[in-house]
A and B are shown apart, each in its own frame.
Chain A
Amino acid sequence: MWGKASILKEGHSLAPYSASVSVASAARPKVRIRGLRKVFRVRQRAVEALATVDLDVGSGEFVAIVGPSGCGKTTLLRILAGLETASDGEFSVERAAGRDLPLNSMVFQEQSIFPWMSVRDNVAFGLKARGVARRARYEAVLPMIRAIGLEGFEDALPHQLSGGMKQRVSLARAFANDPEILLMDEPFAALDEQTKLVMQAELLRIWEGASGRPGESATRKTVVYVTHSIDEAIVLADRVVVLSARPGRIKDQVDIAAIYARPRDVAAVRSSAPYGELFARIWRELRTEIAA
């Protein structure tokens, strides 16, 4: 099927992903999803949003899920976030030994930071929910606020910030909560094109860099990232999972980590030779799913 002359001659494989190939998920998977299904009831009619989904995400792996609109990718994420229940199947998240971290933190698509809280209080929201005292949590979020470029805006209210800065706060809130896994639902979809490019690079810098806390090992968080942008998926992820149209099921998996090393330069990825091939492959998979 992929028999055409490939521009990826240096041993890069575009073969469908399998768990045994990927270094990231060679170990025990961080997230195990088995037979996950979601059926909505709309006026007595059953609408299947997600057909049976099986997926493993390795520890520290960045997985992007792409699919046509309404394919259930956001539903999948909301189930993982505990905001919706699955109709069938199960998933588990492997907890880090010896640490009591929250299971997951979600970065939402739309404006989700609280307009009545300062930047500092928004970023520290997860810590407050976990019972961390005010001074301790303000101290704890300081490096994160600095890392994400919001220094000097700690006391600002969201309406004083630009759209890009609001999403920075949203990212910082998730990272500062130090969860087992990060869930991101098209966090940059509402931003203008240029801001989006900047924020993608920022996300990678923060995520690849460290946990955002001084004195802690730079263990990368496991990320499940939902997007409808093929470009965004390739640029950010270690692996791209392609979902079919509703009901969503996994159609293909593309290993990106084997091609682009970390830390990654977003601009270099876009201008590299394999990028076009990857894009074309994912687009071929998606195109047949889109009824436009």
Chain B
Amino acid sequence: MSAPARNASASVVSSWARPSRRTVERGLSILSPLVLLAIWEAGAIVGVVDTRFFPAPSTIFAALATLLQAGELQEHLLISLERIAVGFVLGAVPGIVLGLAIGLLPLVRAIVQPLVDATFPIPKIALLPMVIMLFGIGEGSKYAIIAIAVVFLVLINTEAGVRNIERIYLDVGRNYGASRLMFFTDIALPGALPMIMAGLKLGMGVALIIIVSAEFVGARNGIGYLIWNSWNTFQVDRMYAGLMVIALLGFASALLLAALERVLVPWRSAVRI
């Protein structure tokens, strides 16, 4: 065997034997939930798992398929998505604007900070009765409760983002005579963007938690209603189908926000690689 040929075959072998670290991590991320489902399924078949409370994954997927065929799932999903989207935007936009203002303007911070500190620890779902009182039993109260939950997380993260901007950038702004508006749009907003994105991700997670809870008690539709109603009528497989949809929503929204971050904060995502 000639030396070059051996080298070539060796390199092929090593590329098979050692896939890149990234590929390994990705593979593991996909594998871990599948393994969990497989164990669950096996447990149900063997009888270790009580299928009255924990139906096998195959049963849950079947229920999911039935819900899809009836068009029931789409209906619930759509209305929940609408509530999340509207509430999220209603919370995120003021959160960013207020967070920037608190971070940049000491006067605004003096006024708003104590209010934020005092109201942030209140569990937002505990405000639902008050919100229903103010906005009625309809969609308004759903938007409002999500917005209230989201605004805090976005505001607090934005403010931290502004305060963590390197001083040098503020010095440049001052030295080059940037207007107050330019400090907002050209320095504070882009400078705080990595932290704002973190706030949006947290806010999205909380929005999912809140919408399900809100739909438990005050709705006739939505994924939360589907879960609660299925539980009340002891259709456990449908309940799990609803839970699975929420899990998928969480996963999808995380992917969406990560993609958004890559577009909006290219200088940061480049560092991460």
Contact = CB atoms under 8 A, between A and B. Distances in A.
Query: Which bucket holds chain B's interface residue count?
Result: 20 to 34
B176 A116 contact: no
Contact of A129 (B171, B182, B191): B182
Interface in A78-133: 81-83, 102, 104-106, 108, 110-112, 114-117, 125-126, 128-130
A83 B266 contact: no
Contact of B176 (A115, A125, A160): A125
B110 interface: no
B179 A129 contact: yes
B53 interface: no
Contacts of A159: 266-267, 270-271
Contact of B267 (A102, A104, A116): A116
A114 B266 contact: no
Contacts of B174: 82-83
A158 interface: yes
A263 B133 CA distance: 78
Interface in B135-182: 168-169, 171-179, 182
Interface string B244-273: 000000000000000000000111001100
A177 interface: yes
B100 to A, nearest CB: 15
B173 to A, nearest CB: 8
B174 to A, nearest CB: 6
A114 B176 contact: no
Given A108-B168, A114-B172, A125-B172, A157 B267 contact: yes
B267 A126 contact: no
Given A108-B168, A159-B267, A128 B182 contact: yes
Nearest to A131: B179
Contacts of A104: 175
Q: Which 7 A-B pairs have the closest CB atoms?
A: A116-B190, A115-B267, A126-B176, A129-B178, A159-B267, A106-B175, A129-B177
Interface of B: 168-169, 171-179, 182, 186-187, 190-191, 193, 265-267, 270-271
7 contacts: A81-B175, A82-B175, A83-B171, A111-B168, A114-B169, A114-B191, A117-B190
